[in-house]
Amino acid sequence: MKKLIFILILVVSSFSTGYAQETVSEDVVKAAFIYHFIGFTQWQDNLPQYDVCIPDDTELRNTAWQTIEGKSVNGRTINVVNRYDHCHILVSENVPPQEPVFTIGSLANGALLEFRIIDNKLRFAVNMGKLRNSKLRISSQLLKLAILENV
């Protein structure tokens, strides 16, 4: 648990540049979270890449292209794309009923995970009911950092 928190802090801090301390944009932090979500999630496929689909948010997609596109996790390359289908992670308010997709959007709309700003910090909530019914395996280390809800 301490290792995971330390890793997340390092990743977020590594995205600021220069010698002066800068405020990291919300999209950079979201991209860092998405990168780490991949490392703590198991899908049941053998594809050579992880497709991160961000069709609705141009700024987040551009930030993800700049920060995580082409990076490797578990021997697979991250591919950031502008589509709704054939995704490992889909960031959208339009949540498809298909499985196994790690959806990030509104829990009320059926997403698995939702980003939230709490006390000026980016946090995330996980829909435990949807997770239990999915074919995804998410590490308990990651779930320890989440707000757990049954929607």
Q: Are 116 and 146 in contact (CB under 8 A)?
A: no
pLDDT at 9: 44
> pLDDT tens, 3-23?
544 444 444 444 433 444 457
Percent of the chain past pLDDT 70, that is, above it, reads 85
Q: Domain-by-domain residue ranges, the chain?
A: 2-149
How much is the average pLDDT of 64-78? 97
pLDDT at 22: 57
pLDDT at 4: 46
